[in-house]
């Protein structure tokens, strides 16, 4: 019984690892080896590996442009999202606790309206009344903020619940701090884990988002990759792999920051931000 | 409206009683102005989510050209109905397999106690994989299981030709396998805390009362895990149902999935005069998601109530 109990999980995990690793390894081979799969055999398995394809793509001015569009949009999305959600979540906890349920339900609405439906609705409304708005690359910002809203609220909500908010605010105010000072010097430092967590997750969402960008014809990074697949497939796949590696590093950083902040007893619950 | 109802409830707020007020709180807004701080939030959501969604429905109920029934009705006939059935079938299958395989993976990983880093590694990886999707994922699977894929070639070496067997990375079986790449890790992330919530003392007490392991799982473990399993299923369903980028990139825009079909109407397909159908398909998607997410919230509320 003990024997069986140890063998099956290991076997199953091994199969799972093969399933999850195989596509990534195939992708790496395609991106970095200049041999068509048809003529691949035992004798040339380690020949003609090169990163030229990726380098060509990275030198492409179109790539630089799409990267800068994506980074700018990511930056402003994080900014808009935090400016909107931090005061809202604090207000809910400090002044209007009865509204918490309503606000929480509203933050889940982006899951009800899938990105493809959202973008159809957006073009149905804004295209006729504010075409200048959809023409700008920054028109993506509010919609990406909407997509990132569920986990941002959750991350902040969990972070605030772990604080004794009322006491912190009253203590700071009775010492003569202004509202702005309370926010900047007391609340934000205490919420840094939540803020960093929300910001990093938002950045990964923005850098990977394809649906809205493609239907609004914005030249973001994923759009560039989809188009490069036709012209420079090796470079496109290499870029996809590079982005995957960077995303993994970003996620690892988030979990390290989360662990470092061990004073925050609820820190591990912020993990739930990844799952609605 | 509901707003006034909640306001009047707010006036009997026990925390607002005068004897509990600190001097600082005296300067706060009266209860009925409390929601004022939420105006920017509701305004933002209204402008960029609710308004587009509502006008979608407004456009969807209008009839298409040369037709006197509303686009909403037309969207659930013929080929469009078929794509809904296809998408729902795909979502159900990937959700079901995801629940099963993801839960098994969580249970297996929790069984492995050493090395210690292994569990953390798997959780981090699941976090990445669950959020993976779109273009890079499609690329990876085309490189592995596409007609010129590495795995296709390896399987061919053992005498099984996937193409001849009718397998394409862009058909039903292909998309199912690709979607499992993010569905399994998502379920894994849901089930790890659920399994951790089962206290060792419960299985020990069951055993000391003479229950066999299967009896413990049948009468204690499974009922306790039901909310997580059910909630996970609904979440996975909605996850697959609303996915677009992966399917689009796998099939170069030719998949029969509803989200991919919507693109066809939106891309200035005014020749047919049927662009209202795009709105109608999107509206039906929202309705299906609304049902799924309401179910999910209901399950989650029940689970939270039980935990307290």
- Nearest CA-CA partner of A122 in A3, A50, A215: A215
Q: Which residues contact B283 (CB under 8 A, 6 or more apart)?
A: A117, B56, B57, B60, B72, B75
Same domain? A212 vs A178 = yes
Closest CB from A8, A241, A274 relative to B130: A274
pLDDT category at B270 given cuts 50, 70, 90 is: low
- Other CB atoms within a 10 A radius of the CB of residue A231 amount to 11
- pLDDT digits over A154-168, tens only? 999 989 988 888 888
pLDDT of A275? 53
Same domain? A132 vs A172 = yes
pLDDT of A98? 87
Is the CB of B48 less than 8 angstroms away from the CB of A276?
A: no
pLDDT of B36? 83
Closest CB from B108, B144, B262 relative to A26: B144
- Per the structure, how many domains does chain B have? 1
Please state, in angstroms and rounded to a whole number, the distance separating the CA atoms of residues B107 and A123.
45
Say if CB B182 and CB B131 are below 8 A apart.
Answer: yes
Is the CB of B263 less than 8 angstroms away from the CB of A92?
A: no
pLDDT category at A5 given cuts 50, 70, 90 is: low
Residues from chain B contacting residue A85 (CB–CB below 8 Å): 41
DSSP chain B: -HHHHHHHHHTT-GGG-GGG--TGGGGSPPGGGGGGGGHHHHHHHIIIIIHHHHHHHHHHTSBPTT-SSBHHHHTTSHHHHHHHHHHHHHHHHHHHHHHHHHHHHHHHHHH--SSTHHHHHHHHHHHHHHH--HHHHHHHHHHHHSTT-HHHHHHHHTT--TTTTT--TTSHHHHHHHHHHHHHHHHHHHHHHHHHHS-HHHHHHHHHTT--HHHHIIIIIHHHHHHHHHHHHHHHHHHHHH--HHHHHHHTT----HHHHHHHHHTT-TTTT-HHHHHHHHHHHHHHHHHHHHHHHHHHHHHHHHH-
Does residue B33 belong to any structural domain of this protein?
no
Closest CB from B143, B241, B266 relative to A123: B266
Tokens of B304: 């939270």
Please state, in angstroms and rounded to a whole number, the distance separating the CA atoms of residues A233 and A33.
12
Please state at what angle helix B172-197 crosses helix B222-242, rounded to 10 degrees.
Answer: 140
How many angstroms from the chain centroid is the CA of residue B249? 20
- Nearest CA-CA partner of B84 in B305, B283, B298: B283
Is the CB of A244 less than 8 angstroms away from the CB of B132?
A: yes
Tokens of B109: 């990983």
Closest CB from A13, A91, A237 relative to B38: A91
Please state, in angstroms and rounded to a whole number, the distance separating the CA atoms of residues A128 and A131.
6
Q: Which residue has the higher pLDDT, B41 or A264?
A: B41
Residue A60 Cα, gap to closest chain B Cα (Å): 19
Query: Which position has the token pair 């020990």?
Result: B204
pLDDT of B238? 94
Q: Which residue has the higher pLDDT, A263 or B52?
A: B52
Residues from chain A contacting residue B190 (CB–CB below 8 Å): 275
Does residue B221 belong to any structural domain of this protein?
yes
Name which of A79, A101, A121 to mutate to probe chain B: the one with the most chain B Cβ atoms within 10 A of its Cβ: A121
pLDDT of A128? 84
**Cα nearest neighbour of A106 on chain B:** B45
Residue A137 Cα, gap to closest chain B Cα (Å): 16
Is the CB of A23 less than 8 angstroms away from the CB of B141?
A: yes
pLDDT of B31? 56
Please state, in angstroms and rounded to a whole number, the distance separating the CA atoms of residues B91 and B242.
9
Does residue B155 belong to any structural domain of this protein?
yes
Please state, in angstroms and rounded to a whole number, the distance separating the CA atoms of residues B197 and B221.
10
Task: Determine the Cα angle at A85 with ends A80 and A86, to 5°.
Answer: 105
Say if CB B135 and CB A258 are below 8 A apart.
Answer: no
Residues from chain B contacting residue A108 (CB–CB below 8 Å): 293, 297
Same domain? A158 vs A251 = yes
Is the CB of A149 less than 8 angstroms away from the CB of B132?
A: no
pLDDT category at A11 given cuts 50, 70, 90 is: very high
Does residue B283 belong to any structural domain of this protein?
yes
pLDDT of B268? 59
Same domain? A33 vs A133 = no
- Nearest CA-CA partner of A89 in A165, A202, A170, A175: A165
Tokens of A42: 């035992």
Tokens of B242: 């609303």
Is the CB of B49 less than 8 angstroms away from the CB of A120?
A: no
Same domain? A42 vs A79 = no
Same domain? A37 vs A132 = no
Query: What is the model's pTM?
Result: 0.86
Is the CB of B24 less than 8 angstroms away from the CB of A173?
A: yes
Is the CB of B49 less than 8 angstroms away from the CB of A114?
A: no
Same domain? A44 vs A150 = no
Does residue B12 belong to any structural domain of this protein?
no
- Per the structure, how many domains does chain A have? 2
Same domain? A102 vs A22 = no
Same domain? A85 vs A145 = yes
- pLDDT digits over B273-295, tens only? 677 888 999 999 999 999 999 99
In chain A, what is the greatest distance between 2 CA atoms, to the nearest angstrom?
77
Is the CB of B34 less than 8 angstroms away from the CB of A209?
A: no
What is the domain extent for residue A220? Answer: 51-274
Same domain? A40 vs A103 = no
Length of chain A counted residue by residue = 276
CATH code, A230: 1.10.3720.10
Residues from chain B contacting residue A251 (CB–CB below 8 Å): 124, 127-128
Question: Which residues are B63's β-sheet partners?
Answer: B70
Question: Which residues are B70's β-sheet partners?
Answer: B63
Is the CB of B136 less than 8 angstroms away from the CB of A244?
A: yes
Please state, in angstroms and rounded to a whole number, the distance separating the CA atoms of residues B215 and B30.
57
CA-derived radius of gyration, chain B: 25
- Nearest CA-CA partner of A115 in B53, B273, B204: B53
Same domain? A221 vs A257 = yes
Name which of A8, A13, A14, A23 to mutate to probe chain B: the one with the most chain B Cβ atoms within 10 A of its Cβ: A23
What is the domain extent for residue B158? Answer: 71-307
pLDDT of B6? 31
Burial class of B122 by CB neighbour count within 10 A (0 to 12, 13 to 18, 19+)? buried
Q: Is the pLDDT of residue B1 over 50?
A: no
- Nearest CA-CA partner of A52 in A228, A238, A241: A238
Please state, in angstroms and rounded to a whole number, the distance separating the CA atoms of residues B267 and B217.
52
- Other CB atoms within a 10 A radius of the CB of residue B234 amount to 21
pLDDT of B15? 42
CATH code, B237: 1.10.3720.10
Closest CB from B139, B145, B241 relative to A236: B139
Same domain? A120 vs A253 = yes
- pLDDT digits over A56-89, tens only? 888 889 999 999 999 999 999 999 999 999 999 9
């Amino acid at each position: 019984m003990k024997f069986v109990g140890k063998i099956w999980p290991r076997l199953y995990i091994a199969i799972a690892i093969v399933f999850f690793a195989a596509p990534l390894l195939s992708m790496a081979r395609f991106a970095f080896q200049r041999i068509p799969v048809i003529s691949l055999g035992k004798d040339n398995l380690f020949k003609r590996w090169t990163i030229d394809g990726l380098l060509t793509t990275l030198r492409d001015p179109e790539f630089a442009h799409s990267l800068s569009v994506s980074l700018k949009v990511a930056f402003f999305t994080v900014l808009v999202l935090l400016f909107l959600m931090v005061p809202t979540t604090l207000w809910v906890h400090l002044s209007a606790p009865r509204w918490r349920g309503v606000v929480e339900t509203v933050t889940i609405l982006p899951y009800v309206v899938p990105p493809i439906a959202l973008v159809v609705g957006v073009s149905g409304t804004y295209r006729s009344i504010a075409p200048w708005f959809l023409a700008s690359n920054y028109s993506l910002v509010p919609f990406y903020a909407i997509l990132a809203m569920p986990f941002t609220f959750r991350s902040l909500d969990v972070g605030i619940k772990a604080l004794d908010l009322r006491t912190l605010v009253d203590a700071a105010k009775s010492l003569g701090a202004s509202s702005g000072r309370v926010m900047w010097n007391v609340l934000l430092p205490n919420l840094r884990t939540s803020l960093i967590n929300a910001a990093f997750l938002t950045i990964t969402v923005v850098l990977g988002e394809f649906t809205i960008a493609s239907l609004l014809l914005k030249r973001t990074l994923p759009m560039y990759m989809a188009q490069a697949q036709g012209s420079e497939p090796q470079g496109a796949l290499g870029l996809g792999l590079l982005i995957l590696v960077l995303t993994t590093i970003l996620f690892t950083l988030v979990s390290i920051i989360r662990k470092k902040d061990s004073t925050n007893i609820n820190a591990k619950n912020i993990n739930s931000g990844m799952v609605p | 409206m509901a707003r006034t109802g909640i306001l009047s409830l707010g006036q009997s707020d026990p925390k607002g009683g005068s004897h509990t007020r600190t001097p600082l709180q005296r300067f706060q807004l009266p209860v009925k102005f409390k929601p004022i701080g939420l105006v920017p939030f509701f305004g933002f959501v209204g402008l960029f989510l609710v308004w587009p969604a509502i006008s979608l429905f407004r456009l969807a109920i209008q009839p298409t050209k040369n037709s006197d029934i509303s686009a909403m009705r037309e969207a659930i006939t013929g080929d469009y109905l078929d794509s809904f059935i296809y998408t729902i079938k795909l979502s159900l299958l990937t959700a079901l397999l995801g629940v099963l395989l993801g839960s098994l993976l969580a249970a297996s990983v929790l069984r492995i106690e050493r090395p210690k880093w292994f569990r953390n590694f798997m959780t981090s990886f699941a976090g990445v994989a669950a959020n993976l999707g779109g273009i890079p994922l499609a690329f990876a699977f085309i490189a592995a299981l596409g007609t010129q894929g590495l795995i296709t070639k390896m399987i061919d070496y053992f005498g099984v030709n996937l193409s001849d067997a009718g397998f394409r990375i862009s058909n039903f079986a292909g998309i199912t396998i690709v979607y499992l790449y993010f569905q399994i890790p998502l379920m894994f992330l849901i089930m790890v805390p659920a399994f951790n919530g089962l206290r060792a003392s419960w299985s020990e007490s069951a055993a000391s009362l003479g229950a066999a392991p299967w009896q413990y799982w049948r009468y204690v473990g499974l009922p306790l895990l039901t909310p997580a399993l059910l909630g996970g299923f609904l979440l996975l369903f909605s996850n697959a149902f609303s996915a677009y980028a992966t399917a689009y990139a796998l099939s170069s825009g030719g998949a029969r999935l509803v989200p991919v079909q919507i693109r066809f109407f939106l891309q200035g397909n005014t020749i047919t005069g049927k662009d209202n159908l795009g709105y109608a398909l999107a509206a039906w998607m929202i309705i299906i998601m609304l049902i799924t997410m309401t179910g999910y919230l209901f399950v989650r509320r029940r689970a939270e109530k039980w935990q307290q």
